[in-house]
A = this chain, B = another copy of it.
Amino acid sequence: MKSNAHLYAVILAGGSGTRFWPLSRHLYPKQLLRIIGDETLIQQTMRRVLRCIPPEQVLISTTPAQADSIRYQLGEWKDAIQGNFVIEPEGRNTAPAIALVAAELVRRDPRAIMLVLPADHVVQGDRRFQAAVALGAQLAAQGRLVTFGIPPIRPETGYGYIHPQRKVRLGSKGGLTGYAVARFVEKPDAKTAVRYLKSGRYYWNSGMFLWQASTILEEIAQHQPDLGAALKPIGQALQSGSIERLARVYRKLAPVSIDHGVMERSDRAAVIPVDFLWSDVGNWSSLEEVAVRDKAGNVVSGNVVDLGSRESILYADRRLIATIGLSGMVVVDTPDATLVCPKDRSQDVKAVVEILKKQGAPEHLEHRTVFRPWGSYTVLEEGKGYKVKRVSVNPGGRLSLQLHHQRSEHWVVIAGVARVTCGRRRFDLAVGQSTAIPKETQHRLENPRSEQLHIIEVQNGLYLGEDDIVRFQDDYGRNVKGRRREGK
């Protein structure tokens, strides 16, 4: 496919999603997970997009809480996408997120066509995906709002359905045809869903779209006038680069989905029935549709020793899971939590997460590994008066210049070279060297080399919360000379 100079991709990566707990967390949602294959869902989405669009033209729509983790996972393309993060101050469903990116795109390129893709779906069949995008771009240039219709494979009641107006053929290409949309049907009842499935005339709404940025902005203005009215201040806030200003506009927006808020109301909607494999992998049991299964029907990943299980989903990490004679079960292990449930109870994982949230259990919120703009840290152990972390600093990265009132820290380098600032001293430490940072002392850790730096940090103190931090300088624009909840 010849690249279209005005074609941009927008990866929607703001979702939270608790249905893949314990692998997903409130601050570490599904798109960041290696659920199927060697790459995470957002990495796979990125690679898919790059078959049609150069990385400089890929925009990422996300929230502040997830931006660091996403930058880390898309590190391979970091120079190209550096300026392409569109950070929503907070999640407001898809219509505001899309409006925000469309406003940004129009500012960059008034003729921009945008391919909108959720970061956490699975698509198999890259060539067919490319063909669909090629035809979609053609229809978008005609002023259409293009959806990709997925042939249903079960009477699903959780999706929206699209009924094409077969008589209105908008174009054909690569074996695919685009139609005008007769109507959208939101989440039908079970009987209706069976009828749709049998009829062969309805398609699932996949949540992937293609349109001109200017077209969707017009349609938003028409069908969501409040959001439309906010477009101008949103544009101004974007140009000012002030996230606080953007937050003030955003706070007033009602959450609304692009499907319900615009697509169902527009007379410019089009659908291209596609022929690639698609899944929104909504919970653990849906993995079976897309993952490779062994002879006994199991989906197995990681350090698993199994005796005779079948039709089960067994997800380990580095820790060992031993399973015997399971049937139709889900077992998922992470460094701090394990889930065991029958496959047909997968949807109840949400209820577990709610319980954990009420209990204030950290296992609902984040993993033991937390990503920061400079790298990441993993809590190895916490106990009374101490905490042990492995801290990993990216090449050229450095933590803020900071001090702690309540704790001292010891650093031992286990890989790479650490450049340490401690009070007025500045020095480098190689593997096997160490230093102590007394409390109430300004300090900084940085990685001056081109390979990753890893240290073990032992904290001592009566209070070890991440909010005991005073920042004096920070490369990543985070609050300085004040206390914040988010550490390092």
Chain A residues engaging chain B, CB cutoff 8 angstroms = 21-22, 305, 307, 319-326, 329, 331, 333, 336-342, 345, 348-349, 351-352, 355-356, 359, 361, 363, 380-381, 383-386, 388, 390, 408, 410, 412, 414-415, 431-434, 436, 456, 458, 460-461
Q: Which residue of B lies closest to A460 (CB)?
A: B432
Given A410-B434, A414-B385, A434-B434: A321 and B338 interface contact (C-beta under 8 Å): yes
Known: A326-B342, A333-B338, A431-B460. 12 other contacts (CB 8 A): A307-B348, A321-B338, A322-B337, A323-B339, A323-B340, A324-B342, A324-B348, A324-B351, A340-B340, A385-B431, A386-B415, A388-B390
Q: How far is the CB of A347 from chain B (nearest CB, A)?
A: 10
Q: How far is the CB of A214 from chain B (nearest CB, A)?
A: 48
Q: Which of B305, B341, B414 contacts A460 (CB 8 A)?
A: B414
- Cα A66 to Cα B215 in complex, Å, equals 75
Are A338 and B338 in contact (CB-based, < 8 A)? yes
Given A381-B390, A412-B458, A432-B408: A326 and B341 interface contact (C-beta under 8 Å): yes
Are B325 and A342 in contact (CB-based, < 8 A)? yes
Are B356 and A305 in contact (CB-based, < 8 A)? yes
Please name all residues of chain B whose beta carbon is closer than 8 Å to the beta carbon of A341 when the two chains form the complex. 322-326
Are B322 and A336 in contact (CB-based, < 8 A)? no
- Cα A340 to Cα B316 in complex, Å, equals 12
Given A307-B351, A456-B386: A321 and B342 interface contact (C-beta under 8 Å): no
Please name all residues of chain B whose beta carbon is closer than 8 Å to the beta carbon of A321 when the two chains form the complex. 337-338, 340
Q: How far is the CB of A435 from chain B (nearest CB, A)?
A: 9
Could you list some 5 contacts between A and B, CB below 8 A? A307-B348, A320-B361, A321-B340, A322-B356, A323-B341
